[in-house]
Amino acid sequence: MYKICVIEGDGIGKEVIPAAITVLKATGLEFDFNYAEAGDEVFEKTGVALPEKTIEAAKNADAVLFGAAGETAADVIVKLRKILDTYANVRPVKSYNGINCLKTGIDYVIVRENTEGLYAGIEAEIADGITTATRVITRSASEKIFKFAFEMAKNRKEEGKSGKVTCAHKANVLKITDGLFKRTFYDVSKGYNLPAEDFYVDAMNMYIISRPETFDVVVTSNLFGDILSDGAAGMVGGLGMAPSGNVGDKYGLFEPIHGSAPDIAGKQIANPTATILAAVMMLRFLNENKIAEMVEKALEEVLELKLTTPDLGGTLSTSQMAEEVSKRLKN
């Protein structure tokens, strides 16, 4: 039995997480779902956005399934990633049949360093009207994320992918921080018999639109990865199609990347695809690869048949779409 810490959070998190739970229950695997609180509503009630009880529940679980955080995101999901030392943020970019993608045949992964960069949060107001932010890049954190990316590429090559690793940086301007980042990338690459390349992040932003089919594993720093992955999601149907996993040496935290979407919260029209795919990532993290593949195939069939929420051209509610996936798993 797998012990899963479930944090619905805010907004549509309260709708897409139950949808994913419905699908997980249909797999036949045994789960112990431990529900914990975090987010805006908890902050309003208690003055704490991420209670200690929730942190302990996450630490004691085999994996964490997270919905969405609103205005307290920095104090919830960003903080939780650091506490669990999930140094790799993994964001698959894949086009599915039945979805209005800008290109077909897209199937690559963005691996984002999750602990430092500008998101280290070291900011200051040094004078009236003058503020600074310190960008932190270390060799140790860079080595960890590059080894993670190359190991992933090695596994993907065994599955028939190219195994190429692409590093996105801005070393021509950020000569010290990204200079170290780029050098470390090529130092780590020497330990792997895999193709390696690098691009400036602004050029990379164009390439993920003009030739996304040429990538397999893209690795980059925290802020760059955040920006690139949201843009990449637009190529394959939008944020509702974009899952993510935060992975470390011990913990795994899985979530959709779309946020709390307060404008549609409570209407049961939120697209649960990203959350179901996040659950697929969680299953793979738990080494339930065959079950993960079954769930993804069931979801693919539902997407192709347009048995979806309105944003994807269907007429179903969030929970009804999850039931369609579940039916196929039970059958």
Tell me: the pLDDT tens digits for 47-85? 999 999 999 999 999 999 999 999 999 899 989 999 999
CA dihedral 303, 112, 282, 315 (to 10 degrees): -20
Which residue, 118, 128, 133, 130, is CA-closest to 170?
A: 118
Q: Note whether 1-86+243-331 and 102-235 share their fold.
A: yes
Q: Are 190 and 139 contacting, i.e. CB atoms less than 8 angstroms apart?
A: no
pTM: 0.93
pLDDT tier for residue 120 given thresholds of 50, 70 and 90: confident
* Region 166-195 average pLDDT: 98
**pLDDT(272) > 90:** yes
Q: What pLDDT sits at residue 91?
A: 97
Residue 176, classed as helix, strand or coil, is: coil
**pLDDT(223) > 90:** yes
**pLDDT(102) > 90:** no
Q: What pLDDT sits at residue 331?
A: 81
- β-strands 107-113, 88-94 pairing: antiparallel
Which residue, 66, 75, 79, is CA-closest to 48?
A: 75
Sign of the CA dihedral with 310 first, then 239, 76, and 25 last: positive
Q: Are 253 and 282 contacting, i.e. CB atoms less than 8 angstroms apart?
A: no
Q: What pLDDT sits at residue 119?
A: 86
pLDDT tier for residue 108 given thresholds of 50, 70 and 90: very high
What does the pLDDT look like over 275-286, one tens digit per residue? Answer: 999 999 999 999
pLDDT tier for residue 14 given thresholds of 50, 70 and 90: very high
Instruction: Give the phi and the psi of residue 113 in degrees, each rounded to 5.
Output: -65, 130
pLDDT tier for residue 5 given thresholds of 50, 70 and 90: very high
Q: What is the largest CA-CA distance in the chain?
A: 65
Q: Are 179 and 137 contacting, i.e. CB atoms less than 8 angstroms apart?
A: no
Residues serving a catalytic function are 119, 170, 202, 226, 230
Q: What dotted CATH number matches 102-235?
A: 3.40.718.10
* Region 135-148 average pLDDT: 97
1-86+243-331 domain in CATH 3.40.718.10?
A: yes
**pLDDT(121) > 90:** no
The mean pLDDT of the chain is 96
Q: What pLDDT sits at residue 280?
A: 98
Instruction: List all residues 6 or more positions away from 270 whose beta carbon is below 8 Å from its beta carbon.
Output: 12, 15, 16, 240, 261, 264, 309, 318
The residue whose two tokens read 């990449």 is: 232
Q: What pLDDT sits at residue 290?
A: 96
Domain boundaries defined on the chain: 1-86+243-331, 102-235
